[in-house]
Amino acid sequence: MLPDETIDRAADTLAKFRNNNALNDILDQYAVLIEDYKRLKSDYEEEREGRERYKQLARGQERKPFALAVVDGDGYIFNERFVKDGEEGGSRAAKQLNDTLMLYPRHQQ
């Protein structure tokens, strides 16, 4: 990629040569090329920055391990105290399961 100074110098040079009418068509095309190049360079830099952000995010995810628990309740007999208390017992059972699951990975380290 050309540095911005080179592009700016090219644009200045273009402005100086515009006085010559015989070269106007070529200079107009050159001006379009410079603008296209600036746009492409900007797009490229944005994509490169986005890729770097993605890499940093991915590296951050590597440091955040997680656990997944799948519970198959078919045939499982709940503790009678949870069943007896109906909906409130179900909420307590869910909280106890969640609390236990949150503690389990810490004990594995």
What does the pLDDT look like over 29-48, one tens digit per residue? 899 999 999 999 999 999 99
Question: Hey, where are the domains in the chain?
Answer: 4-62, 65-109
| Angle 46-49-53 from CA coordinates, rounded to 5° | 135
How many whole angstroms separate alpha carbon 100 and alpha carbon 109? 15
85 has pLDDT over 70: yes
Q: What is the mean pLDDT of the chain?
A: 84
Per-residue pLDDT reduced to its tens digit, 61-80: 777 677 778 877 777 777 88
pTM: 0.41
Where are the extended beta strands (E) located within 1-109?
none
pLDDT at 28: 86
The neighbour count for residue 102, using CB atoms within 10 Å, is 10
Q: Is the pLDDT higher at 86 or at 67?
A: 86
